[in-house]
Amino acid sequence: MPKMIVDGKEIEFKQGQTIIEAASDNGIDIPHFCWHPKLSVSGNCRMCLVEVERMPKLVIACGTLANEGMVVHVDSDKAISARNAVMEFELINHPLDCPICDEAGECNLQDYAYKYSVGESRFVEEKVHKSKRVELGPYVMFDAERCISCSRCIRFSEEIAKAPQLTFVKRGDRVTITTYPGKQFDNPYSMNVVDICPVGALTNRDFRFKARVWDMSRTNSICNGCARGCNIEIWVRNNEVLRLVPRYNEDVNSYWMCDYGRLNTFKFTNADDRVDGPHIRVEGNLIRVGWDEAYAEAASRLKVFGKDEVAVIGSAYATVEDNFIAAKFAKSVLGTGHLDFVRHIDPTFGDDILRNEDITPNSKGAELAGVFPSKNGLDFNGIVKAIREGKIKALYILEDDIVNDNPELENILSKLDLLIVHATNFNKTSALADIVFPAASYIEKNGTFVNFQGRAQRLRPAVATLDIDRALEGMAMSRLDKFGTKFDRWAQGKHFDARASWKIITGLASAMGHKLKYNMAEDVILEMRNSIEAFKGLDYDELGELGMQIKSETSKTTVKI
């Protein structure tokens, strides 16, 4: 590979790369505003000016191709002087509103002002004033005074979202961004411009003024909005999720995520309708009880049914670990082969960018975990038919509101003698249940999702439940980093009494006289690696931050309702 020298360090680069791309690939940061690795080059901010030997003047690193033997000086006196001048120019009309700006703590302009600005302005005239609090669309707010005209948002809309809805208007120091006449900035990926805006010009209307970044904890996880499994960061304050942002993974979602995943996949965890503790139906009403009472009730009632009278429905919303234990419980404890899960398909949701028509995060993982009927067992349609005919009298459902997707099931499920449901929130299916167990959400537990491409990816708890608090009481502080979360922030806020589904089933199995010896999610995946070919040799450390491609081929198919 060709080589060049950047600030005295010899680096390799690929033919056709620009200076800034080559430097970035080798861990060298060249200051920039308008350049983004996934967008076309615009070269209009001039912040990346560098000195190249044998060139008569400074060049922009984002628009200059790297060449064999090139010698580049990023931090020479000449380059830094030019950078100071660019910063002075950028700050001439920029409002001094960092104390109230949502971007504070994440702002490139703020960081570069500290590093490269001279600290005072020679401009004494009145600043140019522009529009503030402009609603570009349903999710994005625009502050024109903060905009530095880097054009990232315009290029993203045209090149990534395939929805050219933004443009520059006017000229000189009056230039600003607006939508095309009669249009709103409302494409399904609009909120990504908030992430890539290098200043506080574009803000998230849902998150505005809720918290400072230094007051929140950040946890790496996976979006559960569809089978893509976008890598995300979960930002939490006082044990409440405030925002989700995309996390870079070139094999899955690159730098992006859709607006649906950003807004519609976490608010249920903060909602008032959470199932807070186990519930048993008494005289037609669900009442809250203790865990031991719920386990005893479920165990005594399940024991009266024959193995052909019981069925289990796993869940593509639950983790691989949850489904693995559910399958084991069905086959080893209940002795039933009537086992399946529902894959929720919405063709109107999918697109050719990120969104997948399978709107569950773990269909492939549920199948790999063994959630499918045995040789003589019934699939989902067969289970429904058998309930209608009175042959199946007890049903165990794992984290799936199947009635919401098919209202006809309400009358069918009412024929059951026993319905046990795991649910994070009260829903149409739990409303019919005799026993409801409170399931921890994907934001509250360790576990694994497998996306539609067969990539296994790890979840971490970002929000504490009472169960996690109890587990932490005797845990050495040196082990806390395995959870990838700042536990000191969990002292405040509401804690729901919920548990991971695998843990609930383990407790129920114990009440039925079957010991399933799992204390942590790690114990479950260690057994999975020995019994599931796709997970052979796999553990959480190996999955790491970006996940791992596994052998996910299977001959089984799931059922669409």
For domain 98-103+123-209, say whether CATH 3.30.70.20 is its number.
yes
Tokens of 407: 């209202």
Provide the pairing of β-strand 59-60 with 134-135: unpaired
Contact 253, 230 (CB under 8 A): yes
Question: Considering only 26-40, 451-465, 525-539, which range has the smallest mean pLDDT?
Answer: 525-539
Contact 20, 61 (CB under 8 A): yes
State residue 555's pLDDT score: 47
pLDDT of 14 strictly over 50: yes
Residue whose pair of structure tokens reads 């996976």 in the numeric block:
222
pLDDT of 490 strictly over 90: no
Which CATH number describes the domain made up of 279-462+497-549? 3.40.50.740
> Could you read off the pLDDT of 292-346 as tens digits, one per residue?
999 999 999 999 999 999 999 999 999 999 999 999 999 999 999 999 999 999 9
pLDDT of 473 strictly over 60: no
pLDDT band at residue 116 under the 50/70/90 scheme: confident
Which CATH number describes the domain made up of 3-91? 3.10.20.740
The DSSP 8-state label assigned to residue 477 in this structure reads G
Amino acid at 516: L
Tokens of 259: 């607006």
**Closest to 431 (Cα-Cα) out of 442, 440, 419:** 419
**Closest to 147 (Cα-Cα) out of 70, 201, 224:** 201
pTM of the model: 0.92
The residue-averaged pLDDT of 37-55 equals: 96
> Could you read off the pLDDT of 350-402 as tens digits, one per residue?
999 999 999 999 999 999 999 999 999 999 999 999 999 999 999 999 999 99
Which parts of 125-266 fold into alpha helices (H)? 152-159, 192-196, 259-264
pLDDT band at residue 469 under the 50/70/90 scheme: low
> Could you read off the pLDDT of 172-220 as tens digits, one per residue?
989 999 999 989 999 999 999 999 999 999 999 999 999 999 999 999 9
pLDDT of 531 strictly over 70: yes
- Report the chain's mean pLDDT, rounded to a whole number: 92
pLDDT of 483 strictly over 50: no
**Closest to 368 (Cα-Cα) out of 542, 537, 558, 518:** 558
State residue 472's pLDDT score: 56
State residue 560's pLDDT score: 34
> Could you read off the pLDDT of 263-283 as tens digits, one per residue?
999 999 999 999 999 999 999
pLDDT of 556 strictly over 60: no
pLDDT band at residue 35 under the 50/70/90 scheme: very high
In this structure, the chain runs to a length of: 561
* 1-10, long-range: CB < 8 A, 24+ apart: 2/66, 2/67, 2/68, 3/68, 3/69, 4/66, 4/67, 4/68, 4/69, 4/70, 4/71, 4/72, 5/70, 5/71, 5/72, 6/72, 6/74, 7/72, 7/73, 7/74, 7/75
Alpha-carbon distance 248 to 507, whole Å? 38
Q: Please report the sign of the dihedral spanned by the C-alpha atoms of residue 373, residue 375, residue 381, residue 382.
A: negative
State residue 287's pLDDT score: 97
State residue 96's pLDDT score: 85
State residue 552's pLDDT score: 73
Percent of the chain with pLDDT over 70: 94
CA dihedral angle for residue 102, residue 104, residue 105, residue 110, rounded to 10 degrees: 150
Taking the domains of the chain in order of start, what are their residue ranges? 3-91, 98-103+123-209, 279-462+497-549
Percent of the chain with pLDDT over 90: 87
